[in-house]
Amino acid sequence: MIDLEVPRKFRPLVEQARGMAEEVFRPISRKYDLAEHAYPQELDLISAVIDGMGSSGAGQGAGASHTTRAVDDQEGVVAAVGSGRNTREDKGVKNGSNLSSVLSILETCRGDVGLTLSIPRQGLGNAAIAAVANEEQKARYAGQWAAMAITEPETGSDSGAIRTTAVKDGDEYVLNGEKIYVTSGERAELVVVWATLDRSLGKQAIKSFVVRRDNPGLKLVRLEHKLGIRASDTAAFHLDDCRVPAEDLLGNPEIKTGGGFGGAMQTFDNTRPLVAGMALGLTRGCLDTTTELLAGAGVTVDWDRPAPVQSYAAARLIQMEADYEAAHALTLRAAWMADNGKPNSMEASMAKAKAGRTCVDVALACVELAGATGYSERELLEKWARDAKILDIFEGTQQIQLLVIARRLLGMSSSQLK
């Protein structure tokens, strides 16, 4: 069974991440919210520290690049490789890199979500590589920053409708299409591009390709101006006869039409708990700040008394804390399952759905409870309310998560339940 206490071996990592949030991210959060598209130079030192921790073995799971998963394409079975050591033959209960990554990201996002997304070599593309790449590819891409390009102008949340094509030409694939909302697209060294080998086969033919950022066929169109997470650059690309070596196709190049999603789709089982962890961090920041502000105004929660007999503000805090704890438990469960070789697609979607919605609801409620202070730039609450919405959208919208959950519960395929 999962133990909800933070494992002892992860406590130093969590403390370091908390210190990073409070001492580095919070002080510069407003600066890079106002200076959209400016690269946070302060993160170079943070990145060097994380790299040093990883080299020493002390920082396993310090970021998204450390979450790993082995995909058995023959059986459609997903086996987690916690901290790069777990195997399906190892029957012991593991607290590995998926859980530690969620715990550390939760802490850094108490400081700033956009800055967390901007840490070099800790991108969601790195998690995608860790999820489906073979060992040779993982070694070849090690130490490089990878963005992930999935969304297209006319596909939205339906990843199976991807129109970007990949056509085999000798020892290369030729990619053509358009990608939007690519997090860290300008700054990253690599971009993991999702493309289809055969549009008629839907999700089964989707593969992910690692494209070098300096590839002449990968053309930056624009950087988006956004509601929130402004410290993180968000790019749009055209792929025009973009030639990629065949060895840069992640995982198995064969199209398998039976037994669940292809390897590329398994990436979400890794990244959705991470995004849920981001939402938890922002939620925790909102709750802590609002609790302090209300206490300063004489409003405190009496945890020994029922909510209905307390003030509205206190009762609202109790409700939001309960939602946070539910989202927290679901997220840890999804990450723990991945570390222990248990299929977690439904649980990953449950975590993402609950944490994303809780984050938005809590952030807006905290702005309301704090009154004029919450709406002004004197506190970060208004910024967090803007940042929150993306956590309910990317890596699959709220509605997509509920569809995934329903399909799993009912034993139905995506073609049977749309």
pLDDT in tens, 296-341: 999 999 999 999 999 999 999 999 999 999 999 999 999 999 999 8
For residue 379, indicate whether it is catalytic: no
Beta strands of 65-199 (E only): which ranges?
69-72, 77-80, 146-149, 165-169, 172-183, 190-196
- What is 263-410's CATH superfamily? Butyryl-CoA Dehydrogenase, subunit A, domain 3 (1.20.140.10)
Q: Show me where the domains of the chain are located.
A: 263-410
For residue range 273-295, list pLDDT tens digits in order: 999 999 999 999 999 999 999 99
**Band of the pLDDT at 151, cuts 50, 70, 90?**
very high
CA dist 396 to 12, 128, 150, 281, 370, Å? 32, 15, 11, 19, 31
Q: What is the pLDDT of residue 78?
A: 26
For residue range 201-259, list pLDDT tens digits in order: 888 899 999 999 999 999 999 999 999 999 999 999 999 999 999 999 998 888 876 54
CA distance 193 to 129: 11
Assigned token pair, 170: 């000798």
Q: Average pLDDT for residues 88-94, to the nearest whole number?
A: 57
Q: What is the pLDDT of residue 349?
A: 97
276 SS3 class: helix
CA distance 218 to 204: 24
CB 101 within 8 A of CB 119: no
pTM of the model: 0.89
